[in-house]
Amino acid sequence: MKPLLSIFLIAVLSVFGIAASPQKITIPLTVEDNRLFLDVQFLGKDGNLRTAHLWLDTGTPDFQITEKLARDLGLDLSKPTVKSEDGVEQVPVELPGIRVGDFNLDLKSATPMVVMGSQPVFAGSHTDGNLPATLLMHYQVVLDVPHRRFTLAKAGALKSKGKRVPCAVQPTTGMVQLNATIDGAPYSLALDSGAPYSMISSEAIQNWMSRHKDWPTTKGTAGAANMLPGPLRRGPMMRVPLITTAETSLRNVGFAGMDSEFISWYSKKTAAPVNGFLSWNVLSAYRVTIDYPGSALYFEKQSEIDTHEADSVGLTLARSRSGGYAILAVVQKDGRPVVDGAQPGDKLLKVDGRDISQLDFQSALHALQGRPSDAHTLVLDRKGETITITAKVMHLI
């Protein structure tokens, strides 16, 4: 009778969508603006599943979804609103469940917050929410960006491959960090899949500049690093020739600089203060396993890190309030602006005759890229005056 009873119970649980999860699941990853996204299923109050497009972000503990998704799921939004750190109105809710493939996520470590209003959550115009570190911290996670795959597994279900690097996992936020050596000195770096470019303290970059004139450096960001939030685009960029960890080495990693205030804020989420984080430009060359329960990272090299991800016309762009894109800064190299005839505050209208005002941010940046010494014709608006210049693509770092 016992085997028959077990079969019966499994069948009942399956009908209600709460059967035991598989040991592991692999689903596709998509890439937008050098960030990672995946599609998962939310269980609604009516028992139906609703597919949602989530930003995969190991660099935050905060779990947020849009108001539209919350209403589609029939969630109770009657609780008092609370403001996020950046002043966004949010409402805490309870979720019936989330599935990644056939894998049912443990939701106990994160309180979902509904961002009120019509705007999407975080990056991506069609983003329904994010998948934060607090929802991943119970599992083994594989970020296979080169092959666009994401794997989620129960503790011990995966035999991890690659070079093992011990990491610290903050027990509340799920944020991971590793110890590394750069230029003979120790540094602590988080692993942040939610950012479009790796970052480190501007102070560290300044120190390296004083000792290594041959390490490529700029003031201001361009190319892939231009996708960072506005205030972070004004710092320096540098390519670091070698980062060593317990069992692996990372070569030619590009970093954008961040100020001490941002580092202090970021370090509140990690187990100990960090100097920066590794992100897209490293993940795109490696298959990385985060073994949260085992406090370890595994790096499997798939290709060399792209040293041309910042090759671009040396302009730092920002979305303009009036639409289109404005020039936030002109990048400087060796103390000189790398683009003649452009000024901060100019609005970029056209690149090689193409109107870029309606392009998404990544496409607008791509229009300025190319091979070093390629030239683009830019049409600018400067307080109502139309200006046309020719600007070369440069290997900035």
Answer yes or no: is 36 within a domain: yes
Entry pTM = 0.89
Q: Which residue has the higher pLDDT, 226 or 191?
A: 191
Residue 6 has pLDDT above 70, yes or no: no
Identify whether residues 157 and 288 lie together within a single domain. yes
CA distances from 333 to 216, 337, 360 (A): 9, 6, 27
**172-181 pLDDT per residue, tens:** 999 999 999 9
Q: What is the pLDDT of residue 354?
A: 95
Identify whether residues 294 and 161 lie together within a single domain. yes
CATH number at residue 126: 2.40.70.10
Q: Which residue has the higher pLDDT, 358 or 299?
A: 299
CATH number at residue 378: 2.30.42.10
Identify whether residues 222 and 263 lie together within a single domain. yes
**Mean pLDDT of all residues in 148-167:** 94
Chain-wide mean pLDDT for the chain?
A: 91
Which residue has tokens 């509904």?
Answer: 114
Identify whether residues 112 and 176 lie together within a single domain. no
CA dihedral (150, 302, 190, 166) positive or negative: positive
Answer yes or no: is 13 within a domain: no
- Give dist(CA 255, CA 253) in Å, integer: 6
**123-141 pLDDT per residue, tens:** 556 899 999 999 999 999 9
Question: Among the listed ranges 67-71, 214-218, 246-250, which one has the minimum average pLDDT value?
Answer: 246-250
Per-residue pLDDT band for 122 (boundaries 50, 70, 90) equals low
The residue among 89, 108, 136 that closes a domain is 136
Identify whether residues 290 and 179 lie together within a single domain. yes
Give the structural domain span for 228: 153-301
Q: What is the pLDDT of residue 281?
A: 95
Identify whether residues 61 and 170 lie together within a single domain. no
The residue among 77, 107, 136 that closes a domain is 136
Identify whether residues 129 and 158 lie together within a single domain. no
**235-244 pLDDT per residue, tens:** 899 999 999 9
Per-residue pLDDT band for 99 (boundaries 50, 70, 90) equals very high
The residue among 108, 136, 164 that closes a domain is 136
Q: What is the pLDDT of residue 94?
A: 93
Identify whether residues 292 and 332 lie together within a single domain. no
Answer yes or no: is 18 within a domain: no
Identify whether residues 100 and 164 lie together within a single domain. no
Identify whether residues 296 and 381 lie together within a single domain. no
146: left (phi over 0), alpha (psi -120 to 50) or beta: alpha
With helix as H, strand as E and coil as C, how does 140-200 read?
A: EEEEECCCCEEEEECCCCCCCCCEEEECEECCCCCCEEEEEEECCEEEEEEECCCCCCCEE
Q: What is the pLDDT of residue 11?
A: 40
Answer yes or no: is 52 within a domain: yes
Which backbone phi and psi does 267 adopt, to 5 degrees?
-70, -15
Return the exposure string of 31-66: e unless at least 16 CB atoms fall within 10 Å of the residue's CB, then b. Answer: ebbbbbbbebbbbbeeeeeeebbbbbbbbbbbbbbb
Sequence-distant (6+) residues with CB within 8 A of 359 are 367
Answer yes or no: is 209 within a domain: yes
Q: What is the pLDDT of residue 7?
A: 40
Identify whether residues 285 and 351 lie together within a single domain. no
Question: What is the domain count for the chain?
Answer: 3
Q: What is the pLDDT of residue 9?
A: 36
Residue 38 has pLDDT above 50, yes or no: yes
Answer yes or no: is 105 within a domain: yes
Identify whether residues 90 and 127 lie together within a single domain. yes
Answer yes or no: is 147 within a domain: no
Answer yes or no: is 94 within a domain: yes
